[in-house]
A and B are shown apart, each in its own frame.
Chain A
Amino acid sequence: MAELTLDNVTKVFDDNGSDIVAVDDVSIDIADGEFLVLVGPSGCGKSTTLRMIAGLETISGGEIRLDGDVVNGKPPRDRDIAMVFQSYALYPHMTVKQNMSFGLEESTDMSDGEISSLVTETAEMLSISPLLERKPGELSGGQQQRVALGRAIVRDPKVFLMDEPLSNLDAKLRSQMRTELQRLQEDLGVTTVYVTHDQTEAMTMGDRIAILNDGVLQQVATPLEAYHQPANLFVAGFVGEPSMNFFEMEVRDGRLVGDQFDYPLSEETLAAVGDADRVTLGIRPEDVQLVDEGSGDHDFGTVVDVVEPMGNENNVYLGFATDGPADFVATIDGMRTLEAGQPVVARIPESAIHLFDTETGAALRNRSLDELEETEPNL
């Protein structure tokens, strides 16, 4: 168990003479026993960051410290870490037992007996005992995944690194393993860095999530913070499914003026906007309310374009024009029936809106959490 610190970590790849910055000045403190999820779109540098922690990539700038010791120059075998790969990366010619013993044989002086009992114990914990004598080729994807996990766990490392470990599994198994991984990590209490592009995994598994884009760290926060208090436009758009709705607006005379609608602001909100003159208004689909009759400044007449029934809820795509494409999405109760072409009034409550500086993307004002805290006292 250990604290892991990334201090201004930078990675520059040399691509035929031109430099490509894959990871740009990333600093994260990961506490002992914490489960940190690194998330971002493909090519954002999350895997490179993980591989630098593992020692599989050199570090171009900055420091990585494990329990206070700088590990920059250390080869992977001297870092006391274990990694789970997307492809599982099992040794195909060895049995499950040999796969799991390999790391202990190579990195410790344990006797065969000790190794064997540790492997058996770990296999029991993961319920893969009956598979110990089989080879990876004879196992299903889910079983191979467990073996890969077992290979990491049995070494009892300071840090677990996981590189999209669930993305080769089918949806059902993935959600099952998600829960199990979380439980395991809590039981073992080992500091974990988990890379994924799947924001469901990021939201559900991490103690905190670190969102990367183009090699730049956007925000490190708890999942709920990232969801409700995004630091910028990118985080707001990346976290959440369906994504937050955005409208580009101009600030004019205490109102937001857009192509399709105007949105008056209260004094308080105006103060948060400051002297920015172009802002992006954001609203989460579930915060858009569909009401029977428009009664205020924040109610807008729209037409239903498409309805996506999800079972427990419906995603309703709404357009301001009668026959234009949809402009935004609202999530409403699954039992409420709406039909394409039907006119509805959409209410965008001011308490739920986010405002971002269009130029810099920085958040100027995030939604107020007052009402949420009332309904969810445990937040």
Chain B
Amino acid sequence: MSVADDLRELSLGRAAVYVVLLLVGAFYLAPLESGLMTAIKTQDAFFSSTPFVPPFGDGFTLEPWYEAWAQMQGPLSDFSGALYNSAFVAIPATVLSGLIGSVAAYGLTNLKWRGQAGVLMLFVAGMFVPYQSVLVPLTRFWTIVGLQNYLAAVPFLQSRVGLIELVVTHTAYGIPICTILFRSYYANFDESMLEAARIDGATFTRIYRRIIFPLSKPMFAVVLIYQFTQVWNDFLFALVLVSSPTNEVATIALNKLQGSMVQQYNVQMAAAFIAALPTLLVYVLFGEQFAEGVAGES
């Protein structure tokens, strides 16, 4: 066999690989593509064509996006709307559970004290309690607490009491997984580095602030992305805890679109994309650190 034959065989093999890759890629992207095509079609075009075929001529419209935006959010300047409410819940819940998880992991990993193992067990156990099983106790809990009475002095917060309950609930629910993630990261820290800091005169809080925290950036990216996606996409807690229609979060608003008399598939699809956009944005923003954190570099 000549070199040319070798090359031909090689390129044939490569071509086959690419064809397979393309097919697999198309298979995975098909639902997304169909959704996007549906969102830019008129209702008539949707009914007269297959979902994944792009719209032609009169069939093309951006109207569903305007309508979806109006229903999901409305004007941004109002400080209300479902997307705004979702952000109001997701951002504090993510940041809080990340911070608390990080501090807890530091205390459970890098400091030595009696009963540590038991406390860690409790944290881990928290991860295995399913959402559904706590729904009733959770609503009872918030009824007994009566948060709105405490917030009477601040009308801005009082009117959003359901959202604040969501923030606290999601923070609590996020702490175990955040703690475990940070713990595995901190366990790989060089112990003598922390000892050096102790000898250098730093207290344990100063060690956290000046050494542990700055070195945790990659893991914070992981936790922020994961936790933000969890909270943003949560439907169950929001459904149970939020009663006022002005406090609807994105997942609830999305669900309501489906409930109307006439199914507007294009508007539903556009709304779904709008609701998914923030999580995508967070991933793009923290993607690099995310990769670093997952790879376990410190």
Contacts and interface: CB of A to CB of B under 8 A. Distances in A.
Interface of A: 54-56, 75-77, 81-83, 85-87, 89-93, 102-103, 106-108, 151, 155
A92 B200 CA distance: 15
Contacts of B210: 102
A91 B206 CA distance: 14
B190 interface: yes
A89 B190 CA distance: 7
9 contacts: A55-B199, A82-B199, A83-B196, A85-B192, A87-B193, A89-B192, A89-B195, A92-B215, A151-B200
Contacts of A93: 211, 214-215
A151 B200 CA distance: 9
Contacts, number: 65
Interface string B199-226: 1111100100011001100000000000
Q: Is the interface of B mostly helix, strand, loop or mixed?
A: helix
A76 B198 contact: yes
A314 B259 CA distance: 95
Q: Is the interface of A mostly helix, strand, loop or mixed?
A: loop
A92 B298 CA distance: 8
A192 to B, nearest CB: 15
Given A87-B192, A93-B215, A106-B206, A75 B197 contact: no
Contacts of A82: 199-200
Q: Find the residue from B199, B200, B211 having the highest chain A CB count within 10 A.
A: B199
A245 B87 CA distance: 78
B215 A103 contact: no
Contacts of B201: 77, 103, 106-108
B202 A106 contact: yes
A123 B192 CA distance: 23
Interface residues of B, number: 18
Given A54-B199, A56-B198, A151-B200, 14 more contacts: A54-B195, A56-B195, A56-B199, A76-B198, A77-B198, A77-B199, A77-B200, A77-B202, A83-B195, A83-B199, A85-B196, A102-B210, A103-B200, A103-B201
B200 A102 contact: yes
Nearest to A80: B201
A89 B214 contact: no
Contacts of B211: 91, 93
A77 B298 contact: no
A56 B198 CA distance: 9
Contact of A91 (B195, B197, B198, B203): B197
Given A93-B215, A106-B206, A81 B193 contact: no
Nearest to B298: A92
Contacts of B206: 106
A87 B190 contact: yes
A253 B214 CA distance: 76
Nearest to B214: A93
A14 to B, nearest CB: 13
Nearest to A81: B199
Contacts of A102: 197, 200, 202, 210
A108 B202 CA distance: 11
Nearest to A163: B192
Contacts of B195: 54, 56, 76, 83, 85, 89
A208 to B, nearest CB: 24
A89 B193 contact: yes
Interface string B151-166: 0000000000000000
A91 B199 contact: no
A359 B211 CA distance: 53
B194 to A, nearest CB: 8
A159 to B, nearest CB: 11
Contacts of A86: 192
A195 to B, nearest CB: 13
Q: Which 8 A-B pairs have the closest CB atoms?
A: A107-B201, A103-B200, A106-B201, A89-B192, A89-B196, A77-B201, A85-B192, A106-B202
Contacts of A106: 197, 200-202, 206
Contacts of A55: 198-199
Given A87-B190, A89-B195, A90-B193, A155 B200 contact: yes
A93 B190 CA distance: 13
